[in-house]
Amino acid sequence: DAKTTQPPSMDCAEGRAANLPCNHSTISGNEYVYWYRQIHSQGPQYIIHGLKNNETNEMASLIITEDRKSSTLILPHATLRDTAVYYCIVRVVSLADSSYKLIFGSGTRLLVRP
């Protein structure tokens, strides 16, 4: 399974961009990178995902390097409500049973400061 490496914690000021890095050097060609966040003990919330190209939606932008070995999640204008644990996940593909699991790591705890 492709593993991800994230810093355990980060902080940023409210209103500034939050850039969360992730390394996934063993990623395979057909594996997507997914980002989720978990606020307190709520269910993980889907943010964004991508394969090769950069992606943007109403929540965030995802920048994937050309070699696909790392990516960065960008929250353009962080608010206090963005304080959460952010998980970068490489979605595991099993062609044998067509299963597409999400295996969570430890994530990055982002603290947005007032």
Partner 1 sequence: DSGVTQTPKHLITATGQRVTLRCSPRSGDLSVYWYQQSLDQGLQFLIQYYNGEERAKGNILERFSAQQFPDLHSELNLSSLELGDSALYFCASSVGDLNSPLHFGNGTRLTVT
- Smaller CB separation from partner 1, 12 or 82: 82
81: three-class secondary structure by DSSP: helix
Binder among 24, 34, 60, 71 for partner 1 (CB under 8 A)? 34
CB burial of 65-77 (b: ≥16 within 10 Å; e: otherwise) equals: eeebebbbbbbee
Report the nearest approach of partner 1 to the CB of residue 64 (Å): 15
> Two tokens at 54?
């950069």
Structure token pair of residue 40? 């307190």
Q: Does 59 bind partner 1 (CB under 8 A)?
A: no
41 contributes a contact to partner 1 by CB under 8 A: yes
Partnered with residue 113 across adjacent β-strands are: 13
Binding status of residue 99 toward partner 1 by CB under 8 A: yes
How far apart are the C-alpha atoms of 113 and 111, rounded to whole Å? Answer: 6
Give the interface size with partner 1 as a residue count (CB under 8 A).
Answer: 26
Site residues, partner 1 (CB under 8 A): 30, 32, 34, 38, 41-46, 49, 51, 87, 91, 93-94, 97-106
